[in-house]
Amino acid sequence: MNNCCCTEGVKLIYACSGCSDVGEISDRVARVLSKEGFGKMKCLAAVGAHLSGPVKSAIGADENIAIDGCSDACARKNLEHAGVIPKSYILTEMGLEKGKTVLTDEIVNEMSKKIRDKMLFECGREDDENK
Amino acid sequence: MFEIKILGMGCSKCKKLTKLAEEAVSELGVSAKVVKVTDIDEIMDYGAMVTPALVIEGEVKVAGKIPSKEEIKKWIEAN
């Protein structure tokens, strides 16, 4: 696993941070993953504003991760507008219900774990495919 | 005279990008100064999360990779 994509390269994390319950959870999940060192959370609004530094950084990163609260996928679409195709994680496709989910540490930790596990699984699969 | 800034802490990629930028300026014969920026706060001011990055007249043109000399020339000429 020394060459595993999960342990190398610059990985940037963006959350939709929307005003709905699941949007708020996406923000918290991104912060948890960033604090854990899984990647570095960056400001989606700066990419949306087309600021050259954040946009070019996203383009130059080894991997970009979009965490969206719902299937509107605003984080993913913002990045796509900037010419970046991120790995996309949508919380409503991972068991949460928009408008009916109470923000708790347990939910945030559960979603963080799910995304972490998915990323590790996908990474392992890519490693296997590259063998 | 305009300024071309190379953002980076001084790794080999930053040095290579600096060299390419200097060559591009020289070959085009334009009046530009290539400046290395190693201060992390100043680098962050540009919103550059990955380095090296190349800035022409305040705009980040590329980050996290080394462009070709031809690309740098195009950006300079477009300035």
ipTM score for this prediction = 0.71
Angle at B50 between CA A14 and CA B70, to 5 degrees: 120
Exposed/middle/buried for residue A3 (C-beta within 10 Å: 0-12, 13-18, 19+): exposed
CB count in 10 Å sphere of residue A84: 20
Angle at A42 between CA B49 and CA A73, to 5 degrees: 130
Where residue B35 sits, what CATH number does that domain have? 3.40.30.10
Residue with more model confidence, B63 or A2 = B63
Determine, for residues B62 and A56 on separate chains, whether the beta-carbon distance falls below 8 Å.
yes
Read off the pLDDT band of B79 (50, 70, 90): confident
Number of domains in chain B: 1
H or E element that contains A102: none
Interface of B with A (CB under 8 A): 46-50, 53, 59-65
**Mean pLDDT for chain B overall:** 93
* Ramachandran angles phi, psi of A31, nearest 5°: -65, -40
Identify which of A10, A57, A59 has the shortest CB distance to residue B47: A57
Contacts of B46 in chain A (CB under 8 A): 52-53
Distance set, CA A77 to CA A34, A65, A83, A112, B61 (Å): 21, 12, 10, 21, 22
Residue B25 has pLDDT above 50, yes or no: yes
Q: Which domain covers residue B45, as residue numbers?
A: 2-78
Who's near B15: CB < 8 A, 6+ residues apart? none
Give the CA-trace dihedral at A106, A108, A112, A113, to 10 degrees: 10
Low-confidence residues in chain A, pLDDT < 50: 1-7
Determine, for residues B65 and A53 on separate chains, whether the beta-carbon distance falls below 8 Å.
no
- Domain segments of chain A as ranges: 11-125
Residue with more model confidence, B12 or A14 = A14
Read off the pLDDT band of B30 (50, 70, 90): very high
Nearest Cα of chain B lies from the Cα of A53 at a distance, in angstroms, of: 4
